[in-house]
Amino acid sequence: VEHLMRLLGEHLARVTLAAPVGDLQLCVDEVDIVPLPVDSLELLPDTRASAQSLNLALERIAARLGPERVLRPRLVEDHRPERMATWHPASEKRPRAKPRCPTLPQPTLLLPEPMRLPMRGGQPLYQGPLLLLVG
């Protein structure tokens, strides 16, 4: 209940009322009852709590800024590194099935424009000679 009160407070902070309000009533038309997951023995027991606190923080930020402004990346199968993730509202349910992305190393940095590397003896140089690590 405390969590819902905080979310309601975030929404009401953005509402402009024509007159002072003494009481507020919240009516619910439909309730979805979701069974709580059974706690399992985990190697890292704090992960569930930290994931819940992240979700609570994202909900509060979305309540303040609007759901379309709080986004999460979602992996997508694509051979182009710049297209391997799409952005979706954090409030959207995430699919359980993981994409079948290859486990090969991916670039950690993509430049806006490709960088021309100098060559020495037919080998590209970038902070020293480039080495083939895999393949």
For residue 86, is it within any domain? yes
Token match 């950690």: residue? 108
Tell me how many domains the chain contains.
1
Report yes or no on 48 lying in a domain: no
Token pair 């709590």 in the structure block, residue: 49
Is residue 85 within 8 Å of 76, Cβ to Cβ? Answer: yes
Q: Is residue 72 part of a domain?
A: yes
Q: Residue 8 falls within a domain, yes or no?
A: no
Is residue 104 domain-resident?
no
What is the domain range of residue 65?
55-95
| pTM recorded for the entire structure | 0.43
Q: CB within 8 A of 129, min separation 6: which ones?
A: 120, 123
Neighbours of 62 (CB within 10 A): 19
Per-residue pLDDT 10s for the chain (135 aa) are 677 788 888 888 888 888 888 887 777 777 776 665 555 445 445 555 666 778 888 888 888 888 888 888 888 888 788 888 888 888 887 766 665 655 666 777 788 888 898 998 888 888 888 887 776
**Beta-carbon neighbour count of residue 90 at 10 Å?**
18
Residue 89 lies in a domain: yes
Cα atoms in the 13 Å half-sphere on the side-chain side of 57:
6
